[in-house]
């Protein structure tokens, strides 16, 4: 029996010795094979990235076999990768239900209705940013905001004789600000999941650099709007949407209560799933009280399938038909497939080989953040999809941040502030293609005016070199302790 165990142990050692480390060339092959598949699928055939990403993962599988790994091991690597994104997938599912319920209960329509009221001809560009920000924060979707409210604002710009490139830049800036800071956004949830931190901590850490970029953007668009004093503005599009919403829903300020509840939950550091669930429950109760057409049945249906607007007013129907658990399945599937690839690349050491090559000359934390952001932007250019620009650099540099004793929130901020926002600045990226086709204006035309999108990476990089957006575990604990103290002091003062 002892002899048999010794033979088995020697056999296992021999098998382990057959597995070797990935070389830089092999790792680059896996990346280039993925890039080629994505380019052919997305750019060549205009398909979604899911299948190209799945096919691209076979490059990593082939290299894993070459390194000596068996299929059972490779499959376990895929499962490990998927496990890392499961919390994000659960949050996305809950968010889908939240959007559907908030639409049926009149919460989102009320936010959009009051947001439209800030539109004034003399501050059109500034108001455009604000309106798109409100809509995007409420829905968690930059694409949905641009495809509905953005289209309406482009039409209004024509009536006001405003610059269409500047208007498009304002729409993109506002839409991506809301998408970046909304806990309902898929990319806002995906970035922390890839880095290894929770979404609430990720949003809180992004507030300072994002707030600075947003404030500068507002000033820029205010200055750009000076001198436009049209007294004959055609606001029929905005008026039509407002009137249609007022006729369909009960519009009152009380509908902001569920939003306030979620924001308070975020401020009190309630975990994402319970906090969002509080928003669902409060929105449902409010809808049952205020909306005659709202019932338990419609709320449950909207939570699963999303809200469907059938007013006959196309612009409003397009704006409000969204949400639901099933609407998130495409994003969830993309995350699963991407992490199959990411799990193989990470567990076989292929990502580490590339990361080591990139970071071997980096000696500072700020330099690491700069390299991370650069890789995210390059991923947007060569891989043509914003999800990949978050997933690949996120997993590639995760261990390096740990080695440098940096909190994962630094990595989350770096990829969210580069990969997520610059995707709309690349003409062949899925986001750039969507914006151009939706707003009817080329990427290079609005690119100089998408102020928030190119300013955000610069601000994060500057703050990193000033060591403001760099922290470790202890730094995050100190921030949380400070916030708890401030909350306690405010409670005592009240």
How crowded is residue 375: how many other Cβ atoms within 10 Å of its Cβ? 23
Q: Which has the closest alpha carbon to 105: 317, 305, 293?
A: 293
Sign for the pseudo-dihedral over CA of 307, 311, 314, 319: negative
CA distances for 381 relative to 17, 173, 465, angstroms? 39, 19, 25
3-state DSSP helix/strand/coil % of the chain, to nearest 5: 80, 0, 20
Instruction: Report the pLDDT value the prediction gives residue 152, as an integer from 0 to 100.
Output: 73
The answer to whether 357 touches 24, Cβ cutoff 8 Å, is yes
Cβ partners under 8 Å of residue 123, min gap 6:
222, 225
Instruction: Report the pLDDT value the prediction gives residue 25, as an integer from 0 to 100.
Output: 92
The answer to whether 143 touches 186, Cβ cutoff 8 Å, is no
Q: Average the pLDDT over each of 73-82, 111-120, 302-311 and give the range with the smallest value.
A: 111-120
Tokens 């700069």 locate to 370
Q: Which has the closest alpha carbon to 174: 124, 116, 126, 207?
A: 126
The token duo for 473 is 């575990």
pLDDT greater than 60 at residue 483: no
pLDDT digits (tens, 9 = 90+) for 288-310: 999 998 999 999 999 999 999 88
* Burial profile 458-475: b = 16 or more Cβ within 10 angstroms, e = fewer: ebbbebbeeeebbbbeee
pLDDT digits (tens, 9 = 90+) for 313-363: 887 887 788 888 998 888 788 778 878 888 898 789 887 788 778 777 787
Give the chain's length: 494
Residue 322: phi, psi to the nearest 5?
A: -175, 180
* Burial (CB count <10 Å: 0-12, 13-18, 19+), residue 329: middle
Tell me the pTM: 0.68
What is the rounded CA–CA span in Å between residue 261 and residue 223?
Answer: 35
């Amino acid at each position: 029996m002892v002899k048999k165990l010794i033979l088995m142990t020697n056999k296992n050692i021999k098998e382990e010795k057959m597995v070797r480390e990935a070389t830089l060339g092999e790792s680059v092959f896996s990346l280039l094979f993925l890039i080629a598949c994505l380019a052919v699928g997305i750019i060549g055939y205009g398909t979604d990235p899911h299948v190209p990403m799945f096919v691209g993962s076979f490059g990593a599988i082939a290299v894993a076999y070459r390194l000596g790994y068996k299929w059972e091991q490779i499959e376990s690597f895929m499962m490990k990768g998927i496990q890392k994104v499961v919390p994000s997938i659960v949050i996305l599912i809950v968010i889908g239900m939240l959007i559907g319920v908030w639409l049926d209960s009149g919460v989102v329509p009320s936010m959009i209705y009051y947001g439209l009221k800030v539109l004034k001809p003399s501050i059109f560009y500034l108001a455009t940013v604000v309106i798109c920000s409100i809509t995007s924060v409420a829905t968690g979707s930059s694409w949905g905001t641009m495809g509905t409210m953005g289209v309406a604002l482009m039409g209004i710009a024509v009536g006001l004789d405003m610059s269409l490139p500047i208007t498009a830049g304002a729409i993109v800036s506002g839409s991506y600000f809301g998408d970046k800071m909304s806990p309902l956004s898929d990319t806002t949830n995906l970035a922390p999941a890839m880095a290894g931190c929770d979404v609430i901590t990720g949003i809180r850490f992004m507030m300072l650099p994002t707030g600075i970029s947003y404030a500068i953007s507002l000033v820029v668009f205010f200055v750009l709007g000076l001198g436009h004093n049209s007294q004959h503005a055609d606001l029929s599009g905005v008026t039509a949407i407002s009137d249609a919403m007022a006729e369909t829903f009960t519009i009152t300020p009380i509908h902001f209560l569920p939003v306030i509840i979620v924001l308070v939950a975020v401020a009190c550091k309630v975990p994402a799933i319970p906090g969002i669930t509080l928003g669902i429950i409060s929105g449902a109760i409010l809808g049952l009280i205020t909306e005659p057409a709202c019932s338990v049945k419609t709320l449950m249906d909207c939570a699963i399938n999303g809200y469907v607007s059938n007013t006959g007013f196309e612009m409003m129907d397009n704006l409000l038909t969204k949400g639901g658990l099933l609407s998130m399945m495409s994003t969830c599937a993309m995350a699963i497939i991407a992490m199959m690839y990411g799990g193989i690349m990470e567990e076989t050491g292929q990502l580490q080989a590339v990361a080591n090559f990139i970071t071997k000359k980096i000696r500072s934390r700020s330099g690491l953040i700069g390299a991370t952001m650069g890789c995210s932007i390059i991923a947007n250019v060569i891989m043509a999809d914003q999800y990949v620009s978050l997933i690949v650099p996120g997993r590639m540099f995760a261990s390096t941040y740990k080695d440098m004793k940096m909190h994962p929130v630094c990595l989350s901020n770096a990829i969210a502030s580069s990969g997520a926002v610059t995707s709309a600045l690349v003409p062949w990226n899925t986001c750039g293609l969507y914006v151009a086709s939706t707003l009817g204006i080329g990427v290079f035309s609005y690119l100089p005016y998408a102020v928030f999108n190119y300013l955000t990476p610069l601000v994060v990089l500057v703050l990193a070199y000033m060591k403001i957006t760099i922290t470790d575990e202890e730094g995050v604990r100190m921030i949380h302790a400070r916030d708890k103290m401030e909350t306690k002091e405010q409670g005592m003062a009240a």
